[in-house]
Amino acid sequence: MRELYPEIEPYRTHRFAADALHELHVEECGNPDGLPVVFLHGGPGAGVSAYHRRFFDPARYRIVLFDQRGAGKSTPHAELRDNTTWHLVDDIEAIRKHFGIQRWVVFGGSWGSTLALAYAQTHPERVMGLVLRGIFLGRPGELRWFNEADGGAAWIFPERWAHYLQHIPEQEHDNLTEAYWRRLNSEDPDVRLAAAMAWGEWEGGSTTLVHDPNEPGNFEDPKVAVSVARAEAHYFRNRVFLEPDQLLRDVGRIRHIPATIVQGRYDIICPMKSAFDLANAWPEADFRVVQAGHSAADPAIVDALVQATDALADRFG
C-alpha cells in the first residue's frame, strides 16, 4: 500500500488579501516548477495541516495550500461575514491568477470535495484533474444525516450522540443545527466555546473506521473547535449556499476532466450514497470504494489518494 510522502516545509508562505476584510494564509510546497495542485481542506473552518502536503510527490508537484476564510491562520479568525461557498470559489480563482498558474489539479476531501466540485463547475477550463475524497454534495438529506435527530448517524454512534444531544435542552431538539447556532453566535465567549467543543466532540471523534466512543476527537484545540463549529453551522443552516442538487445537476460541465473519487465504505460523516450518486452521474470518473471510514489519514484512503495523485503526475508531469 502507498503511504504519505515524507514531511516537507513550505518553500514560501503568503498573506493574501481576499478582500478588505479577509486575509488568507497561503503556502507553496514541493517543486516550484512542478505540476500545480491546490489542496482544499475540509470543515468548513478546519484549516490545513502539515500532513496535507504529503499526498503529493514533492519532486513532481507545486503544492498550493491555503486556509479558507476564517480558518486556520487566515484572519479574522472564525469570521463569517462575506464567507460563502461562492466567496471561496472566487478565492481559489484569485490565488490561481496571483500565482500565474494557467491550469491546475484540484484536490479536496469532505467539505473540500464540495468546494472542489463547485470550483471546477464554475471554472472547468482551469482544472486539468480532480481528486475527490469523502463526497459531500450539500443536499438536505446529507445536512440532516449527521447533525439532526432524524438523520441517522445517531444510530451508529449513540454514545457520542448522547453527549452532543445533552448540550441542548430537549425543547430545542427539533432543530439542533439552529440550537447550536444560537449558542455559537452568542456574545458570551464561554457559551460559544462550550457549544463549539460539544459540536467538535461529536464530529471529530466520528471520522475513523475503528471507533472509540470515549475518544475526545480531533477538534479539541479550542481555536479550531470554534472556527469549525461556527463555519459548519453557518454553512449548513444556509444549505451550503447551493441550489438543490446543483453539484449533481452540473456534472456535465466537468465530465471531460480526469477525476478520481475515493470513498470509505463505512464513512459515517459523508455516507457512501453521495459518492455513489456522483459516480453514477459521472461514469468517466475513476470511482474507488475502500474499506475505511471518513478520515483522510486512514491507510486505505491514503493508498488510493496517493495512487491518484501519482497517476496525474505521470499523465501531466
Which domains can be identified in the chain, with CATH numbers? 12-140+241-316 (3.40.50.1820), 141-240 (no CATH)
The alpha-helical segments, DSSP class H, found in the chain are: 85-98, 111-122, 140-147, 158-166, 176-184, 189-204, 222-237, 246-249, 272-281, 299-316
Confirm if 292 and 265 have CB atoms less than 8 A apart.
Answer: yes
pLDDT score, position 216: 65
Burial 192-218 (b: 16+ CB within 10 A, else e): bbebbbbbbbbbbbbbbbebeeebebb
pLDDT tops 90 at residue 209 = no
Cβ contacts of 161 within 8 Å, gap of 6 or more: 153, 154, 202
Q: What is the pLDDT of residue 185?
A: 95
User: What's the average model confidence in pLDDT over 107-117?
Assistant: 98
- pLDDT at residue number 206: 83
Asked if residue 214 has pLDDT above 80, the reply is no
pLDDT of 211 strictly over 80: no
Give percent of the chain above pLDDT 90.
92
Selecting among 22, 25, 41, 294, the annotated active-site residue is: 294
Predicted confidence at residue 186, as pLDDT, reads: 95
pLDDT (tens digit per residue) in 97-109 = 999 999 999 999 9
- pLDDT given at position 181: 98
According to the model, what pLDDT value does residue 173 have? 97
Question: Can you tell me the distance from the alpha carbon of 294 to that of 275, in angstroms, rounded to the nearest whole number?
Answer: 12
Cβ atoms within 10 Å of 281's Cβ, excluding its own: 16
Alpha carbons 278 and 61: distance in angstroms, whole number: 27
d(CA 269, CA 110): 9
| Distance from chain centroid for Cα 246 | 18
Residues of the chain above pLDDT 70, percent: 98
pLDDT of res. 207: 86
pLDDT-derived band at 57, boundaries 50, 70, 90: very high
pLDDT 10s digits, 238-258: 999 999 999 999 999 999 999
Q: Give me the catalytic one of 267, 298, 303, 310.
A: 267
Q: Are 198 and 184 in contact (CB under 8 A)?
A: no
Cell of 266: 463505512
Mean pLDDT of 207-224: 76
pLDDT of residue 218: 59
Would you call 312 helix, strand, or coil by DSSP? Answer: helix
* pLDDT tens digits, 144-198: 999 999 999 999 999 999 999 999 999 999 999 999 999 999 999 999 999 999 9
Q: Provide the mean pLDDT of the chain.
A: 96
Confidence of residue 217 (pLDDT cuts 50, 70, 90): low
Q: What is the mean pLDDT of residues 277-296?
A: 97
Catalytic residue among 110, 113, 206, 274: 110
23 near 16, Cβ under 8 Å? yes
Angle at 297 between CA 291 and CA 303, to 5 degrees: 60
Q: Is 267 a catalytic residue?
A: yes
